[in-house]
Chains A and B, each alone.
Chain A
Amino acid sequence: MAKITFLEAIQQAQAEELERDPRVFMMGEDIRCNVFGTTTGFVERFGEERIRDTPISENGFIGAAGGAAMVGMRPIVDATLSSFLYPAMDQICSIIAKSRYIYGGQAKLPLVIRSCMFYGNSNAAQHSDRPYSMFMNMPGLKIIAPSDPADMKGLLKAAIRDDDPVLCFEDGTCWMAKADVPDDPDFLVPIGKGDVKREGTDLTIIAIAGGVPTALKAARQLAADGISAEVIDPRTLVPLDRDMILKSVRKTGRAICVDPAHRTCSAASEIAATIVEQAFDALRAPVIRVTTPDTHLPFSPHIEKPLYPTVDRIVAAARRIVGAPVAPQPA
């Protein structure tokens, strides 16, 4: 057990799996020069054949990861920013997500596509995407979005060992968070299992990725006012741990979904719909989504920062649904 950052957790997970399995190799733009610190020492340790710098050709090298996986390799693609997945939608959606299905199980595609979500940092609209919910609408892709160093390491290792394609979304706002992380080389966090990050009784906050630390701060603030919030981190978006979410909402009767993605068809929307469909009888208040509105992200920090889910917005939503019956909305 050692205290390491989220970024160091990524580095460790990859190093351990590269060490463990010769079929694992890495591809991406500028990974040898170790831009973010997730490939520290890799070229020296694993060689240039297994640590490959690619041309700026996302559709090419992400599709090539699919081809390499089909012939028995286990590629890790570092796609840098999640915004750079868009040029590769062709290969991700038409080849990687569908080949196993379309060929009746003849193909196996064990590969991981990592990308980080830089947002809240004046990178403007083309570099601030949180696109996981777009991929949730495409069957055939497992999706992980961890929020702390231990989950990051354990889930990434599980993803690399998984026989299905996994998209790994790494929240930039979590990068520098430090926590105790097991150093057991077989430490894994199972894909598809959520985690109760804080127990509570009055309401359930289901938060995604960087929304989790924000939700935990909100829960601490609410506790000071005598409101007990349970915070759930699904950790995996596909498959989604619906049972854990429903169990918690059945206990508390209230739910807030916190999601840094844009509102419409977000992970929060899917979770809210699940709750309303399957635990309607347990609800004592409307399900609230606290998300980023459906506008683009501007460069200027003064107008960018307030767009994301904040502690204040979560606390306000919690106050609204706890206590007296909710007043009718003004027309």
Chain B
Amino acid sequence: MAEHIMVLPQYGMGMQDGEIIRWLKAEGDLVAEGETLVEVEAAKTTVEVPAPVGGTLTRIIAVEGETVDVRAPIAAIETA
């Protein structure tokens, strides 16, 4: 068991931050590695962000509507 902190990815060199549009999973849900987990809007483009690891989504750190910096923590996933 280990906690993996997921960060906001950077799409393109100029991206500084992004807005969380929608979480596709709720806290407590199981996620598979590569499964779409959250939609983020950056520079007017919406991007589907996949789960970096498989496990249980234990915590959503950045909520929908929140704008966060690139590489800031957005969720925690407990790996099996």
Which residues of A come within 8 Å of B, CB atoms?
A: 7, 36-37, 116, 118, 120-123, 127, 172-173, 175-176, 301
Q: Is the CB of B71 within 8 A of A118?
A: no
Known contacts A121-B15, A175-B16; A36/B43 CB under 8 A: yes
- Smallest distance from the beta carbon of A37 to chain B beta carbons, Å? 6
Given A36-B43, A37-B44, verify A172-B71 contact (CB < 8 Å).
no
Within 8 A of A (CB), among B32-78: 43-44, 70-71
Query: Is the interface on chain B under 10, 10 to 19, 20 to 34, or 35 or more residues?
Result: 10 to 19
Q: Specify the chain A residue showing the minimal Cβ separation from B43.
A: A37
> How many residue pairs between the two chains, A and B, have CB atoms under 8 Å in the bound complex?
29
Give the residue of A123, A173, A176 whose beta carbon is less than 8 angstroms from that of B13: A123
Q: Please, which residues of chain B bring their CB within 8 A of the CB of A301? A: 71
Most interface-central of A37, A120, A176 (chain B CB within 10 A): A176
Q: How far is the CA of A118 from the CA of B14 in the complex (A)?
A: 6
Let me know if B10 and A121 touch, CB within 8 A: yes
The list of the 6 closest CB pairs from A to B, nearest first, reads A172-B14, A118-B13, A123-B13, A118-B14, A176-B16, A173-B16
Q: Which residues of A contact B17 (CB under 8 A)?
A: 176
CB-defined contacts of A123 to chain B, threshold 8 Å: 13
Cross-chain pairs A/B with CB under 8 angstroms, 27 sampled:
A7-B43, A36-B14, A36-B43, A37-B43, A37-B44, A116-B14, A118-B13, A118-B14, A120-B16, A121-B10, A121-B14, A121-B15, A121-B16, A121-B70, A122-B10, A123-B13, A127-B13, A172-B13, A172-B14, A172-B16, A173-B16, A175-B14, A175-B16, A176-B16, A176-B17, A176-B43, A301-B71
Shortest distance between the CB of A23 and any CB in chain B (Å)? 30
Give the distance to chain B from A191, nearest Cβ to Cβ, in Å.
Answer: 25
Q: Which residues of B contact A175 (CB under 8 A)?
A: 14, 16, 43
Please name all residues of chain A whose beta carbon is closer than 8 Å to the beta carbon of B13 when the two chains form the complex: 118, 121, 123, 127, 172
